[in-house]
């Protein structure tokens, strides 16, 4: 056994015997990832979504941040003297409170608490980044102000990375990410498309408000819609590329080992189907094992099979969806 494997085994054995320390470490790591996730989202929002020049085309996000944009726009048009970034931070956190309570009871305590950390830090960073000269310099550069499509692409990438990292760590960025995660777990499918459906209504609401307050500039207001859909598409693609928990892979194993299935079932919480076959060249009897696993389990499955039978043949087929009792590890 290599030195690296021995160290990993010692660490694993230690935390197996010390559950409280493992829980603290788990929460700490997830909170640190939530910190970076919140920073990335706030940077993308403050740099590419917020408007510092009235001549720049206004863009919109979805979810609670998009809904907050609408409320802030209404308040600014009504003459509220507070800075837009401060209002955005305050309302973004307030509107997330019901979603966080929902997550606590319906998804998991750790998920809800670390999501609250993410939301709180995002609110703080939005306010901080909006007054940071580096962010304003990027936002007001000619390469960004003259190209709404570039702004949308960069904003979508930042939001997608932020949400994807949070989901991968067992947390979320709050808002519609919580709703997406809830339906994603219940339906065992990618979470990106649920965000697109819900965010459509948020963007339409923001567009209506823009047209109402600026009817003479209705063309720019209507342009928000197609740019918003590009933003959704980019962010959802990035999320589903990073967050692979709900992606399924069909594993087909051809082996002569009679105990392969028993060993796999003892390690992985998934059923399997055994077909009897015969090699076309060798004419030897073989077992054809079909098993469906999550994408993040594939590497362990292949490694386990090769350790049991180095001569086994393995093929992998990506699946769009499965119907039936497929086990998904619960969210903490």
Confidence (pLDDT) at 161: 92
pLDDT tens digits, residue range 269-293?
A: 788 888 898 888 888 889 898 988 8
Residue 40 banded pLDDT, cuts 50, 70, 90: very high
Predicted TM-score (pTM) of this structure: 0.73
Q: Residue 318 belongs to what H/E stretch?
A: strand 313-319
Q: Of 278, 262, 242, whose CA–CA distance to 157 is shortest?
A: 242
Rounded distance between C-alpha atoms, residue 106 and residue 118, angstroms: 18
pLDDT tens digits, residue range 46-74?
A: 888 876 666 667 777 777 887 888 888 88
Which token pair is 224?
Answer: 């928000």
Q: Which residues make Cβ contacts (< 8 Å) with residue 254, sequence separation at least 6?
A: 277, 286, 287, 288, 289, 312, 313, 314
Half-sphere exposure of residue 290: CA atoms within 13 angstroms, side-chain side: 7
Q: Of 132, 131, 103, 134, whose CA–CA distance to 117 is shortest?
A: 103
Rounded distance between C-alpha atoms, residue 259 and residue 298, angstroms: 19
Confidence (pLDDT) at 179: 77
Domains, the chain, ordered by start: 3-242 (no CATH), 248-319 (3.30.70.120)
Q: Of 208, 228, 70, whose CA–CA distance to 149 is shortest?
A: 228
Kindly list the distances between the CA atom of residue 260 and the CA atoms of 31, 268, 271, in Å, as whole numbers in the listed order. Answer: 39, 12, 13
Q: Look over the chain and give the mean of its residue pLDDT values, rounded to a whole number.
A: 80
Q: Mean pLDDT highest for which of 135-144, 216-225, 304-313?
A: 304-313
């Amino acid at each position: 056994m290599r030195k690296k494997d021995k160290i990993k085994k010692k660490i694993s054995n230690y935390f197996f015997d010390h559950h409280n320390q493992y829980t603290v470490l788990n929460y700490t790591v997830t909170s640190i990832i939530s910190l970076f996730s919140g920073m990335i989202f706030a940077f993308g929002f403050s740099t590419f979504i917020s408007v510092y020049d009235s001549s720049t085309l206004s863009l919109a996000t979805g979810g609670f941040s998009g809904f907050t944009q609408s409320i802030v726009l209404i308040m600014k048009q009504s003459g509220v003297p507070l800075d837009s970034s401060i209002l955005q931070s305050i309302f973004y956190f307030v509107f997330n409170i019901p979603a966080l309570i929902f997550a606590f009871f319906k998804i998991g305590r750790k998920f809800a608490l670390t999501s609250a950390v993410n939301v709180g830090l995002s609110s703080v960073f939005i306010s901080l980044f909006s007054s940071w000269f580096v962010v304003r310099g990027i936002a007001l550069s000619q390469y960004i102000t003259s190209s709404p499509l570039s702004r949308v692409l960069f904003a979508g990438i930042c939001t997608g990375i932020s949400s994807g990292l949070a989901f991968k760590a067992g947390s979320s960025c709050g808002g519609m990410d919580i709703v997406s995660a809830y339906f994603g777990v219940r339906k065992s499918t990618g979470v990106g498309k649920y965000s697109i459906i819900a965010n459509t209504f948020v963007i339409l609401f923001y567009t209506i408000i823009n047209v109402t307050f600026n009817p003479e500039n209705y063309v720019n207001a209507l342009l928000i819609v197609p740019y918003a859909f590009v933003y959704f598409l980019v962010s959802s693609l990035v999320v589903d590329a990073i967050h692979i928990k709900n992606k399924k892979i069909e594993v087909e194993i051809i082996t002569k080992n009679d105990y392969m299935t028993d060993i796999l079932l003892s390690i992985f919480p998934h059923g399997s189907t055994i077909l009897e076959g015969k090699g076309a060249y060798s004419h030897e009897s073989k077992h054809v094992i079909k098993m469906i696993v999550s994408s993040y389990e594939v590497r362990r499955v292949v490694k386990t099979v090769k350790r049991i039978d180095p001569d086994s043949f393995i093929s992998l087929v990506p699946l769009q969806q499965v119907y039936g009792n497929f086990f998904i590890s619960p969210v903490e």
